[in-house]
Amino acid sequence: MRRPYRKLNLDERRILATMLQAKATKTKIAETLGRDRSTIHREIKRNWWHDEDVPQADGYWHVTAQTLADRRHLKRRKLERHDDLRREVIAKLKTGWSPEQIAGRLRIEPRAPHRICHETIYQYVYSESGQSQELGRYLPERQKKRKPRYARKTRDRVFPLETSIHNRPDEINDRSQFGNWEGDLMIFERAQGNANVATLIERKTRYTVLLKNNDRKSRPLMNKLIDEMSPLPADARRSITFDRGFEFTSWRELHKGMGTKAWFCDPQAPWQKGSVENMNKRVRRYLPRDTALLSLTNRYMKSICDRLNATPRKCLGYRTPTEAFRDELVQLEQS
């Protein structure tokens, strides 16, 4: 059975430093301290002192190593030490912000009294305190335990270069081709569990679909999109453009389920899918952030869609999205 990890104390670091100076191997040091060799390797790597001014002073010094370790520990506890910062982070998590968005925003806020790394937020969420508050339920894709950092998929693997919006064909970019959509997820403050609303808008006709979901996990969301869009002709559901949220990591299911291709905006570039972002602002007139989402019926959601799609749009020559969408479907049937 694997022993639980314990941090090295000052006495252990003193022995480690002495044995390193005596040219002992990491395996011998681990045996002496009763530790795993990986623990010794990690300790040396993390707390090795690098002196830019006096390179000869580089080395592992037990007092310096203890100081460096204590600093990292205090940094991880920043959310426990600062009540105002903790309240702000938790509030933003509950409104649907990701740890990366929270940390990034604090970096550019000129009056923000604190800065924080997104990794620190993740560590707090999965700490005993964060788990007692069930903060994990507010993450884009929650897990009971966090995977080791080295085991996580990078965004480049989840959203490969060939799916970048910069590779999207011109006929999609200039809206000349019908059947290309934009998708997004709307989050609500009073939503129970992970309830949300998925917004879809067809780029050429501005025809809008709203889907109420009870889960923010990616695969159930993709299944919902497939169920909703499969009845349309294949040329009416050619592609969907998303941002890089974890809700959309199962995008490959779209192609498997109905042949629809997925495109992705650059990180932190929501304006690249401006149609759905603008539509979200219109939807907020009827579904503000404090909406108790689970109390709404599917009929009510459909009535909002009907109202939006029956409103004349200047960009459509004052036709309605419903009229424009219907005309495109007729042309598909005739071709």
**pLDDT tens string 84-108:** 888 898 998 888 888 888 888 888 8
Whole-angstrom distance, CA of residue 222 vs CA of residue 276? 17
pLDDT score for 238: 97
pLDDT at residue 290 greater than cutoff 80: yes
What percent of the chain shows pLDDT beyond 70?
Answer: 88
User: Tell me: the pLDDT tens digits for 255-267?
Assistant: 999 999 999 998 8
Rounded Cα gap, residues 20 and 24, in angstroms:
6
- Work out the average pLDDT over 243-247: 86
- The pLDDT of 224-231, averaged and rounded, is 94
Q: What is the per-residue pLDDT for 150?
A: 43
Separation CA 119–CA 263 (nearest Å): 27
pLDDT of 149 > 60? The answer is no
**Antiparallel, parallel or unpaired: β 208-213 and 196-202:** antiparallel
For the chain, give the number of residues.
335
Average pLDDT, the chain: 85
pTM score > 0.75 for this model?
A: no
Higher pLDDT: 310 or 190? It is 310
Q: What is the pLDDT of residues 29-46, one digit of tens each?
A: 999 888 888 889 989 988
* Residue 75 confidence class, pLDDT cut points 50, 70, 90: low
Give the pLDDT confidence score for residue 1 in this predicted structure: 39
Mean pLDDT value of segment 146-163: 63
**pLDDT given for residue 169 in this prediction:** 94
Lowest mean pLDDT among 66-75, 152-161, 216-225: 152-161
Q: Which fold has domain 158-334?
A: Nucleotidyltransferase; domain 5 (3.30.420)
Delimiting residues of CATH 3.30.420.10 domain(s) in the chain: 158-334
Residue 326 has phi, psi (to 5 degrees) of -65, -40
* Predicted pLDDT of residue 147: 55
- Per-residue buried b or exposed e for 19-37, using 16+ beta carbons within 10 Å of the residue's own CB: bbeeebebeebbeebebee
* Nearest one of 267, 314, 256, 293 to 100, comparing CA atoms: 267
Q: 254: exposed, middle or buried (C-beta count within 10 Å: 0-12, 13-18, 19+)?
A: buried
Q: How confident is the model over 191-214, as pLDDT tens digits?
A: 566 788 999 999 999 999 999 988
Task: Single out the residue of 97, 145, 103, 92 nearest to residue 246, CA to CA.
Answer: 97
